[in-house]
Structure 1
Amino acid sequence: MQFLVAHYIEGKMNDLGLRSVRTPKSTPITEDYEISNTVLGLGINGKVVQCYSKKSGEKYALKVLHDCTKARREVDLHWRASGCRHIVNVVDVYENTYRGNKCLLVVMDMEGGELFQRIQDKQDGAFTEREAAQIMREICLAVKYLHNMDIAHRDLKPENLLYTIPDHTGILKLTDFGFAKETLSKDTLQTPCYTPYYVAPEVLGPEKYDKSCDVWSLGVIMYILLCGFPPFYSNHGLAISPGMKRRIRTGQYDFPNPEWQNVSQDAKDLIRGMLCIDPTQRLTIDQVVRNKWIAQYTEVPQTPLHTGRMLREGEDIWPEVQEEMTRSLATMRVDYDQVHIKSLDNTNNPLLNKRRKNKGVNDLPSHMLK
């Protein structure tokens, strides 16, 4: 069987204004789409290739999924959530067989590229704190939409934030529901699904966790948006090293200068609330959206940030960071007992070190030397 999602279609709505479960089409997908061999990316549960509508010639992205419980959950949750302006729209769902795959999913083609690539390529002046606030507002609206539906995304990261078109009118949208899970009001999530740089402390241990882990990931994304490097990092080529786990568990991060020197206190305070290691004290998505730095983003200072420069100078390192993230996506389960936390006498942030190497900025903040 196959599932397919494409660019835009009016789905049925339930009493809450949310999309209801769609009945998959039984006709062959090849009657409606020309499928190319161009691979656009790899998701948690399958690869994404390019395809074209035979009727309109429009370009779409086709996600190929093997029919299984995880794939069906991904399709169902993505379909129901795609009514949000900042979530990639599911257009069609096909259930048939194609090239030996039992599942197909087509999503709207996001021609504008990834979030961080756009910041790195920005030519018309420096990336500002106000722009970062606007971006965070758009991402938070997508997460709020999900949480209101009792859905946790569980893998929020920049690579899953894509623009519709390359110019300034492009809309930022959240995609890839491979780790998404429905969470009823009294239920908590227990499967440790994550990408290293964006994982919350409670996901690393045996404790239960819920939608608050998405807020932690948002905090990490916001941190990177404002400076160009992550607050937590791995030093030993592992997807998530013991030292990195320790730093996440104990909330060891800082706001080092010069990158953070001119960033507003409001932004730093919001990050602290989102990266609180106690999930019961961590801000909820509703609190984040109501925070003045988000809600009143047009009043946030237009302070030039180091983000674009740091991303450009670390261009050769950033793919390595993404590779670490990708390796972690190979499994949905991690046996925490197999990973032993140990003290590290001397660790540092290779991403930040290399970028500063030729600039004489070698005195790292204390949290990077523990």
Structure 2
Amino acid sequence: MPYKKHSLIDDFEISTKVLGLGINGKVVECISRTTRKKYALKILLDSPKSRREVSLHLKAKHCPQIVEVSDVYENSYGGEKCLLIVMEKMEGGELFQRIQEKTEGGLASFTEREAAEIMNEICSAVYFLHKRNIAHRDLKPENLLYTTKGKHSILKLTDFGFAKETVNEGLSLQTPCYTPYYVAPEVLGSSAYDKSCDIWSLGVIMYILLCGFPPFYSNTGLAISPGMKKRIRTGQYEFPDPEWKNISLSAKDLIRGMLNVNAESRLTIEQVMGNEWICKFSNVPQTPLFTGKLLREGEENWTEVQEEMTRSLATMRVDYERINIKSLDFSNNSLLDKRRNKKAK
């Protein structure tokens, strides 16, 4: 796709409505002057890193599970040379938000079968990328957004700010890009790693989908603590009752295969897609899950944690000493308190 040189304002009205904050830039709403259709506009300072993000996102433009890029403009914005990415606007909200809305008031439950269908959609996006030797490196629920097509809701992956091409299927990734909850153990070290880091993140997402809390978390106010790093590196997590009591063994086995600390033994995306829990999701039992309830109970805490993750991400490409992270010890943290109490018993 050739970048457009004329002013984006000739074609779009830029709204003051902020839709989100990506790794490298903010996302605002814009409206086509001819069709009045609303789009999402991502504003990036022009740099090799930004051009890589745009290039890799464009390589995935034909995947139905990845947010579509409509146009890219080279403009000056706020006195800086920028790349302006016009994307489809995802009206349906984030993944966790949708689950909370569905289960609000206890009128409906979120089931294991629905979790399997969601994982099928997410894995389809990752499969498309991995077949093209692209590692996303920032798979997390905040980057999974819904749109509506007719009567159907479609889940799509966005934000290629950390994405990178792998070289000859080898170990070619070295930059420590991650969101702490979803980081693979090999990314925490100084050695090179490959796109299997995405499979670990998929395992973490699947775990949270099935119970409402993460398998690895910090017991301190840090975004990622030494203890959390140790548990990630050694694969120390549990399937505690009552949240996991009725969940199928096949789901737990699939998570174990994705959360294998040995990257070489970890499942590939082809193996994940071929797993019956994923590819035959309509046969997965409709077991009611605790997910919606726990996400709602921890909504305030989850927002705080997301903010901490954002601040932590900001330090990864600047100065680690410049960011002060708010301590969770001074906030009401019901989900982590529950896990801590269980550990203490």
Q: Same fold (TM over 0.5)?
A: yes
Q: Give the match for residue 180 of structure 2.
A: 196
What does the per-residue CA deviation read over 1:181-211, in whole Å, with 9 as the maximum and x for residues that have no partner? 0112234211110000000000111222110
Secondary structure of 1:132's match?
helix
Partner amino acid for 1:279?
A: A
Q: Give the match for residue 220 of structure 2.
A: 236
Partner amino acid for 1:302?
A: Q
Partner amino acid for 1:64?
A: I
- Which deviates more, 161-170 or 258-267? 161-170
Query: Contact 1:229/1:351 (CA < 8 Å) preserved in 2?
Result: no
Secondary structure of 1:303's match?
coil
| Residues 151 and 201 of structure 1, relative CA distance in 2, 3 Å threshold | same
Q: Give the match for residue 105 of structure 1.
A: 85
Secondary structure of 2:20's match?
strand
- Which deviates more, 248-257 or 202-211? 202-211
Shift of 1:89: 0.3
Percent of pairs with identical residues? 67
Q: Which structure is higher in helix share?
A: 2
Secondary structure of 1:172's match?
strand
- Which deviates more, 140-149 or 94-103? 94-103
Q: Give the match for residue 52 of structure 2.
A: 73
- Paired residue for 1:165, among 133, 148, 173? 148
| Residues 28 and 334 of structure 1, relative CA distance in 2, 3 Å threshold | closer
Q: Give the match for residue 224 of structure 1.
A: 208
- Determine the C-alpha separation between the residues in 1 that align with 2:128 and 2:137: 14
What does the per-residue CA deviation read over 1:155-180, in whole Å, with 9 as the maximum and x for residues that have no partner? 00000000013996121000000000
- Determine the C-alpha separation between the residues in 2 that align with 1:254 and 1:178: 31
Q: Give the match for residue 313 of structure 1.
A: 297
| Residues 256 and 130 of structure 1, relative CA distance in 2, 3 Å threshold | same
| Residues 362 and 242 of structure 1, relative CA distance in 2, 3 Å threshold | closer
| Residues 272 and 61 of structure 1, relative CA distance in 2, 3 Å threshold | same
Query: Contact 2:298/2:333 (CA < 8 Å) preserved in 1?
Result: no
| Residues 231 and 35 of structure 1, relative CA distance in 2, 3 Å threshold | same
Query: Contact 1:196/1:324 (CA < 8 Å) preserved in 2?
Result: no
Gaps of 5+ in 1: 1-21, 337-348
- TM-score, length basis structure 2: 0.91
Partner amino acid for 2:197?
A: C
Q: Which structure is higher in strand share?
A: 2
Query: Contact 1:32/1:55 (CA < 8 Å) preserved in 2?
Result: yes
Q: Give the match for residue 27 of structure 2.
A: 48
| Residues 166 and 241 of structure 1, relative CA distance in 2, 3 Å threshold | farther
- Determine the C-alpha separation between the residues in 1 that align with 2:72 and 2:344: 51
Query: Contact 1:154/1:214 (CA < 8 Å) preserved in 2?
Result: yes
Partner amino acid for 1:117?
A: Q
Q: Does 1:127 find its partner at 2:110?
A: yes
Shift of 1:101: 3.3
Q: Does 1:274 find its partner at 2:253?
A: no
Shift of 1:95: 1.3
| Residues 73 and 44 of structure 1, relative CA distance in 2, 3 Å threshold | same
- Determine the C-alpha separation between the residues in 2 that align with 1:165 and 1:116: 16
Shift of 1:328: 2.1
Partner amino acid for 1:132?
A: A
Query: Contact 1:113/1:166 (CA < 8 Å) preserved in 2?
Result: no
Q: Give the match for residue 94 of structure 2.
A: 114
Q: Does 1:37 find its partner at 2:16?
A: yes
Q: Give the match for residue 150 of structure 1.
A: 133
Secondary structure of 2:277's match?
helix
Shift of 1:324: 2.2
Shift of 1:237: 1.7
Partner amino acid for 1:114?
A: E
- Determine the C-alpha separation between the residues in 1 that align with 2:8 and 2:2: 15
